[in-house]
């Protein structure tokens, strides 16, 4: 079993670097085309950080027909984003939320989670439901672009994004294209190694695909969010830490689940509906109450989120 474990880890590493190369290449190409850094940040970079979850979910559904892994990946990633990643960040430094954008997006993430829970009620996510989620994703992106253009602090936002996403004119177009295709290829290879070996491990140890999706696959594909959120926490960039988690949860439901379901209906184990998805909603509600009531996550609240996530993971096995 050593080889599947090693290949699983290699798959995670390749996914991580693949997403990084794709974001670097595509964002620089977009800037060369004259697209605003703000728009690039809201679309190209945001989608790029969710690329591991998307490609891994497509691999699981289209190649393996493992709907439990797909839904487990989305539900598990959302639980770990809030419970583990944001909880750990608040333990390092209490997270104060200043931005009105976060207070608007957190309820949107909760609404999307409740809609997803309702769609799961029939035991299958149909193609039309996938298209509905994708429509919600497009509407969300358009809303973000509209709000940025309308914002009084647009100049400040532009400056922030320009500092974060700097155009490097020294890089040739051919090199940027190479990075994009290298990133895409790495994502495909990494996802295949991750999913194939996760299923091998599940079968060997007698673990259900649901649990593998909720744990190993979800945690592995959430590493980009873990890295960026912890870096933001150490730099005391509080809004970025929370925005990263909330945005990732929205993308996981609207873009990833929507894309996979639109291509092929997702069949899944009943416990995902009766236990896992409700817990995902409950953790998000707790986070929302924390940040809306006192506009912060203190160490105690972060510890509660982290502990609840660890207890949940323990009882999965």
pLDDT score at 163: 52
Which SS3 state, helix, strand or coil, does residue 266 take?
A: strand
Kindly state the average pLDDT of the residues 222-230.
76
Q: What is the pLDDT of residues 92-110, one digit of tens each?
A: 888 877 666 566 788 899 9
Alpha helices (H) in the chain, listed in sequence order: 2-32, 37-40, 46-49, 51-58, 67-79, 87-92, 100-119, 127-150, 154-164, 173-205, 209-212, 218-221, 223-234, 238-251, 258-263, 270-271, 277-293, 299-316
Pick the CATH number of 2-316 from 3.40.50.300, 3.40.50.450, 1.20.1420.30, 1.10.1270.20: 1.20.1420.30
Which SS3 state, helix, strand or coil, does residue 235 take?
A: coil
Q: Which residue has the tokens 């690039």?
A: 40
- The answer, yes or no, to whether residue 268 has pLDDT greater than 60, is yes
DSSP string, 139-165: HHHHHHHHHHHH-TTHHHHHHHHHHHS
Query: What average pLDDT is seen over the chain?
Result: 82
- The answer, yes or no, to whether residue 47 has pLDDT greater than 80, is no
Using pLDDT thresholds of 50, 70 and 90, give the confidence band for residue 57. confident
pLDDT score at 58: 85
Rounded CA gap, 224 and 194, in Å? 15
Q: What is the pLDDT of residues 168-220, one digit of tens each?
A: 566 777 888 888 889 888 888 888 888 888 888 888 888 888 898 888 888 88
Kindly state the average pLDDT of the residues 109-134.
94
The domain limits of the chain are 2-316
């Amino acid at each position: 079993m050593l080889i599947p474990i090693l290949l699983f880890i290699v798959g995670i590493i390749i996914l991580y670097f693949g997403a990084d190369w794709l974001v670097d290449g595509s964002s620089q190409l977009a800037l060369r085309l004259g697209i605003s850094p703000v728009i690039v940040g809201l679309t190209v970079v945001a989608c790029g950080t969710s690329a591991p979850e998307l490609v891994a979910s497509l691999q699981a559904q289209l190649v393996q027909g493992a709907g439990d892994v797909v839904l487990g990946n989305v539900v598990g990633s959302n639980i770990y984003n809030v419970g583990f990643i944001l909880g750990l960040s608040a333990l390092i430094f209490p997270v104060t939320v200043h931005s009105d954008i976060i207070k608007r997006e957190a309820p949107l993430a909760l609404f999307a989670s409740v809609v997803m829970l309702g769609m799961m009620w029939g035991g299958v996510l149909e193609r039309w439901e996938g298209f509905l989620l994708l429509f919600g994703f497009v509407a969300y992106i358009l809303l973000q672009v509209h709000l940025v253009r309308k914002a009084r602090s647009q100049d400040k936002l532009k400056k922030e994004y320009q500092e974060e996403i700097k155009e490097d004119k020294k890089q040739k177009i051919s090199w940027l294209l190479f990075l994009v295709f290298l990133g895409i290829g790495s994502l495909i290879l990494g996802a295949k190694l991750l999913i194939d070996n996760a299923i091998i491990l599940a079968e060997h140890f007698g673990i259900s695909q649901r649990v593998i999706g909720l744990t190993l696959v979800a945690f592995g594909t959430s590493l980009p969010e873990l890295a960026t959120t912890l870096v933001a926490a150490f730099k005391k960039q509080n809004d970025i830490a929370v925005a990263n988690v909330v945005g990732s949860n929205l993308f996981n439901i609207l873009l990833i689940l929507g894309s996979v379901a639109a291509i092929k209906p997702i069949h899944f184990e009943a416990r995902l509906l009766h236990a896992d998805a409700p817990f995902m909603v409950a953790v998000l509600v707790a986070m929302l109450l924390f940040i809306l009531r006192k506009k912060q996550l203190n160490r105690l609240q972060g510890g509660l989120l982290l502990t609840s996530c660890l207890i949940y993971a323990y009882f999965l096995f």
